[in-house]
Each structure stands twice: as structure tokens, then as C-alpha cells.
Amino acid sequence: MNSQTAVTHSAADAKVLGADDEFHVTDDPVDLTQYSFESWIAFGFFWLLALNIFYQFFTRYVLNDSAAWTEEIARYLLICVVFVGMAAAVRTNTHIHVDVFYRFMPAWFTRILSTLVDIIRIVFFAVATVLTWQMMQKMGSYKMTIIDLPMNLVYGVCMFGFACAAVRSVQVAIRHWKQGYSVLERPETAITETI
């Protein structure tokens, strides 16, 4: 009975232990190719926001002399993170979806509805891009409250996010059309799909 336990124990150890009877773990290689340029831009804005908040914390609680401009810039950087990050989420099709309705309808009807959702998403982002451009034209040389920079910098990032989201939603709609279903119809495919 002891020899059988020893054999089972040594077979399990062979999977984990190396030739030198030490535990060796190797990580899978890091694959950064799954992230698009929108993701990297949003990541950059996020780190600028983090540095800005750290500077605000440092000046307020360590130096006891808060920098007035950091709160306004933090607000604008958060806007940039959200709008550029929105485009990255459209690319991976990971926005919030309500798919319970699709489970109770016939397949032909859910196909029509999901195609309609794709079209509405494209139109929404395209119209939002145009409206943001028009608003930038009307704002002209309007400046930020504390910093003497044009507000169109912030709105330009918003327009960039909307434009990228419009392009990515066209790509997502084409992919849905080619494969014959969307993530609304088959939510189990949400984890594996990406452009």
C-alpha cells in the first residue's frame, strides 16, 4: 500500500518539479498585440491622470499648498480616458448588452434586431462625431477656466474617440454580418471575439 502511494506521489511530482527536484514556474509570454492604438492612447491618458492626481495629493497634504490647476486638468483627463476608452470597448464589443430578450425570440427576429443595433450604433457614433466637430467650430477660442489652453483640445479628443468608435462599429458590424450572428444572439462568444 505504501509503494502504491509512493508511485502516485512521484507521478504527480513529475508534472510540477524539475530535474533538480525544485519547483519551477514559467509564465506565458506577454502578448500585447491584442490591444489597439486606442487602448494605448487611453492608457497614456490614464497615467497622465494618475500623475496629476498624485501631484494634487502631494501638494495638498505634504506641502500644504494645493495646486489649483490639478482639479480641472484631472476632470479633462478623465474625459479623455472615457472617450478614447469607449472606442477601445467598441472594438472588442464589450459594452453593456442586454441579451435576455434575444433568448425568447425566434432566430430570424433576433438577427434583424442585432443588425438594427449595429446600424444604430454606427449612426450614433457618426452623428456624435459631426456634432462634436460643429460644437468645436462654434466654441472657437474659448479657454479653460484656470489654464490658458483652448477647450477645443478636450473636445478634439472627444471627437477622436467618437470617430474611432464609428470606424470600429463599422468593423464590428461587418464581422457580425460575415459570421451570421452577433454577441447579442450568442453571448457565449463575447469572450473570444475581437477585431
pLDDT digits (tens, 9 = 90+) for 40-63: 999 999 999 999 999 999 998 888
Gap between the Cα atoms of 28 and 54, Å rounded: 33
Gap between the Cα atoms of 150 and 48, Å rounded: 19
What is the percentage of the chain residues whose pLDDT exceeds 90?
A: 41
Is residue 11 pLDDT above 70, yes or no? no
CA 183 to chain centroid: 17
Which secondary-structure segment (H or E) carries 94? none
Query: What one-character DSSP code corresponds to residue 27?
Result: P
Gap between the Cα atoms of 115 and 140, Å rounded: 38
Q: What is the mean pLDDT of the chain?
A: 84
pLDDT digits (tens, 9 = 90+) for 87-130: 998 988 877 777 778 788 888 888 898 899 999 999 999 999 99
Gap between the Cα atoms of 101 and 104, Å rounded: 6
Ordered by start, the domain boundaries in the chain are 32-189
Gap between the Cα atoms of 94 and 71, Å rounded: 30
Query: In this structure, which amino acid lies at residue 192?
Result: T
Angle in degrees, 0-180, between the axes of helices 107-139 and 152-179, rounded to the nearest 10: 160
Phi, psi of 155 (to 5 degrees): -70, -30
